[in-house]
Amino acid sequence: MSVIIDEEQCTGCGNCVDSCPYGAIELENNKATVLPNCNLCGVCIDNCPLKAISLERDKESGEKIDLSQYKGVWVIAEHYKQIVHKVAFQLLGKGRELSNLLDSTLTFVILGANFDEKLGDFSEYGMDEIIYVKSPILKDYYSDLYVKVISELIEEHKPEIILIGATPTGRDFAPRVAKRLHAGLTADCTGLDINPETKNLLQTRPTFGGNIMATIRTPFSRPQMATVRPGVFKALKKIKKEVPVKVIDYKFTAKDTVSKIIKIINTSKSTVNLEDAKIIVAGGRGVGSKENFKLIEDLAKALGAEIGGSRITVELNWVDPDRQIGQTGKTVSPKLYIACGISGAVQHIVGMENSDVIVAINKDPNAPIFGFAHYGIVGNLNDIIPLLIEEINKLNLNKE
Amino acid sequence: MKIFVCVKQVPGVSEVKIDPKTNTLVREGILSILNPNDRNAIELALTLKEKYTTEVIALSMGPPQAEEILREALAMGVDKAFLLTDRAFAGADTLATSYTLALAIKKILKESNPEEKYLIICGAQAVDGDTGQVPPELAEELKIPQVAYVLNVELTEKKIIAERKFRAVEIVVIETTLPALISVLNDINEPRYPSIAGIMKAHNLEIVHLDAVALNADTSKIGLNGSSTEVWKIFIPERKGDRVILRGTIEEVIQNLCQNLKDDKVL
Ligand SMILES: Cc1cc2nc3c(=O)[nH]c(=O)nc-3n(C[C@H](O)[C@H](O)[C@H](O)COP(=O)(O)OP(=O)(O)OC[C@H]3O[C@@H](n4cnc5c(N)ncnc54)[C@H](O)[C@@H]3O)c2cc1C
Ligand SMILES: Nc1ncnc2c1ncn2[C@@H]1O[C@H](COP(=O)(O)O)[C@@H](O)[C@H]1O
């Protein structure tokens, strides 16, 4: 496998040289040449205006599997304290779309204890079938038990596509399952689609810190697995529906896990649920000080909103850690997101770009946040926010 | 006891910018760096070494230039460094990378003491691909337990007790048997800088190169051949906002904003 440059086509324009994140292309005699440190990432291919670069695969090696045996879309749920993480329902929304495109079925898979009574609620999210694996020990999450059960289920039922939440738990078991089955897994997808010709799953995800999007496919192996961040897709409207449920009473042996949970420590006083907030007012370094964060709080109060912050504000202790939004914090998708004094670094953007309406207040007209905002206000937040609060209070009064 | 630290050379991506005119990456001044989380992994290994008798070995799979980051690991105080480098490794996805790293670990153990207990420390994720999939896949390949996003770890002869960060505000304390693999985020510690003496010493240490033949690798499991996923298309993310900058006096702007938000039915 290698990157091939068509020397006839190449004009030595150098676009590929600039585009390569690894510095692995040089111009030699006015022709692009690929150096040994090429990582085959493919960024150069799309950057060549003359389409002179291509990726050449070696002759297919290894045994081929019969892809047609694999059918159906699965969503694997996770839960904590008996509450199912809502990313599973969001994935059912997307899963429905994919299974319709493939003319196949959508299955919801849950491993746990004491969910018998809840199965009726789950059935309202549009799946065709539920598989419920039950055992008292599955009340908590154990990496090795999840990997064992899920791998066995996949080998038995051969689903074509598997969607898992990109949560700390999903990111823990999904790769092990993929490895055990030698299946391709794409992390943190923000887009999923079906190639109309090949029927392959097209998995789009940000790479290089969100600066580039890559669409990944898994053409020669099955299942095609993807993890997806919470908040990227939307759950379907609930519908009353009878769904067949397969309950599997799983008997584990002591050998099945070598790990033991000793205890769970809660490190926070408050429990905020930013993921469910309808409106979020977020402050960044531009707010200036912990005291001045009062402005953000007041605006949030006027709007009935939750407060969020960029990472720096958490590091400066202006905001609680569980209110951090972004790559290493939460992914949110409220109806309204107001970013105050936030520059709009990609690590922040990936956590909030799916909000319905984004408002940015920043004094720097060139701040990247304006590229993501639906409404931008260039100016000093200390002048703007108090007036904005006044205006909103007026509106609230009119409503009453 | 041995501690293996897996480290990766990555482009300094936070500096990667897109030129809006040509839509290409602006690579000026981008350096290849030691993946930030891996620096924390090295730091943890070295702190553990202060308390327990163990040898710290750094491993990297990458092009010959990845010697630089291994040199840096040695300068920080790592005892030995191995570079898994071969054209045949290029294009590896996480399945192929974890297979290759596992082969090297097995080889190193076999050539010293196959019965010796070990701990593998990885960064939780690398900033280029940013998948975080290599550590669990490596643990699976070696059939050992793993604990991800570890904040603190205690070692005994046969076991580890690890604190795992879970859901931003919760910590799960997990006990598991050695050998094991853990991965760390950057909030676990403050990595040390190499000392001058460390840099001098590292300069003279050998970095052992291992290629596909030395690892006795199955060629269908390495590099692009061993990868299930492949990049189909690369593009520059489109910006979602409409870039509507509201203009006028502050009062006008606020009126305008509130009207828009009402029209959008979010107020
Ligand atoms: C691996 C990694 C993970 C990360 N994860 C996250 C994450 O999860 N979440 C996150 O947020 N960040 C994250 N970051 C950090 C991110 O790169 C940025 O550093 C951070 O988001 C910047 O925060 P900020 O916008 O508040 O501050 P700054 O970038 O300092 O921006 C402050 C902004 O405020 C404006 N301003 C200043 N004064 C005023 C005023 N009076 N009125 C109006 N505007 C004003 C300025 O013009 C500026 O644009 C991560 C970084 C890395 C490397
Ligand atoms: N090529 C590699 N060589 C050594 N370690 C690696 C390599 N790729 C990934 N790792 C390890 O796996 C971690 C997560 O990487 P990733 O799965 O690519 O996000 C890194 O922080 C490293 O510890």
Task: Report the percentage of chain A scoring pLDDT > 70.
Answer: 96
d(CA B222, CA A227): 23
Chain B touched by A151 (CB under 8 Å): no
Of the listed ranges A180-184, B27-31, B243-247, B259-263, the least confidently predicted one is B27-31
Q: B24 and A15 in contact by Cβ < 8 A?
A: yes
* CATH classification for the domain delimited by A2-56, as one of 3.30.70.20, 1.10.357.10, 3.40.50.2300, 3.40.1080.10: 3.30.70.20
Residue A390 is predicted with a pLDDT of 95
DSSP for residue A64: P
Q: What average pLDDT score do residues A259-265 get?
A: 87
CB B266 within 8 A of CB A356: yes
Residue A21 is predicted with a pLDDT of 76
**Which residue of B37, B117, B232, B236 to mutate against A (max A Cβ within 10 Å)?**
B232
pLDDT at A369 over 80: yes
Tell me the domain boundaries of chain A: 2-56, 67-252, 275-399
Q: Domain A275-399 has what CATH class?
A: alpha beta
User: Quick one: pLDDT band at residue A301, thresholds 50, 70, 90?
Assistant: very high
Chain B touched by A206 (CB under 8 Å): yes
Tell me which of A56 and B95 has the higher pLDDT. Answer: B95
pLDDT at A189 over 70: yes
- Residue A145, CA distances (Å) to A79, A86, A250, B170 in order: 14, 22, 10, 21
Tell me which of A15 and A55 has the higher pLDDT. Answer: A15
Q: A19 and B141 in contact by Cβ < 8 A?
A: no
Q: Is B172 helix (H, G, I), strand (E, B) or coil?
A: strand
pLDDT at A32 over 70: yes
Q: What average pLDDT score do residues A239-254 get?
A: 91
- pTM here is 0.82
Q: A21: exposed, middle or buried (C-beta count within 10 Å: 0-12, 13-18, 19+)?
A: buried
Phi/psi at B174 (nearest 5 deg)?
-120, 135
Q: What average pLDDT score do residues B140-158 get?
A: 92
Tell me the domain boundaries of chain B: 2-221
Amino acid (one-letter) located at B60: S
pLDDT at A67 over 80: yes
Residue A62 is predicted with a pLDDT of 47
Same fold: A2-56 with A275-399: no
- Architecture in CATH for domain A67-252: 3-Layer(aba) Sandwich (3.40)
Phi/psi at B158 (nearest 5 deg)?
-120, -10
* CATH classification for the domain delimited by B2-221, as one of 3.40.50.620, 3.90.1640.10, 3.40.50.10860, 3.40.50.300: 3.40.50.620
CB A35 within 8 A of CB B32: no
A93-117 per-position pLDDT tens digit:
999 999 999 999 999 999 999 999 9
For residue A154 the two structure tokens come to 């996949």
Sign of CA dihedral B54, B55, B61, B66: positive
Query: What's the gap in Å between the CA of B48 and the closest CA on chain A?
Result: 21
Q: A13: exposed, middle or buried (C-beta count within 10 Å: 0-12, 13-18, 19+)?
A: middle
The residues, ordered by sequence, that sit 6+ positions from A257 with a Cβ below 8 Å of its Cβ are A137, A142, A144, A145
Query: Average per-residue pLDDT in chain B?
Result: 88
Distance A319 CA to ligand 1 centre (A): 13
For residue B256 the two structure tokens come to 């305008």
Chain B touched by A280 (CB under 8 Å): no
pLDDT at A270 over 90: no
- Residue A69, CA distances (Å) to A27, A155, A179, B16, B116 in order: 47, 11, 20, 42, 43
Residue A57 is predicted with a pLDDT of 64
d(CA B160, CA B108): 22
Question: Closest-CA residue in chain B for A302?
Answer: B267
Strand order in the sheet with B230-235: A191-194, A201-207, A212-217, B230-235
Of the listed ranges A29-43, A270-284, A288-302, B210-224, the least confidently predicted one is A29-43
Residue B12 is predicted with a pLDDT of 72
Q: A175 and B177 in contact by Cβ < 8 A?
A: no
Query: Average per-residue pLDDT in chain A?
Result: 90
Residue B230 is predicted with a pLDDT of 82
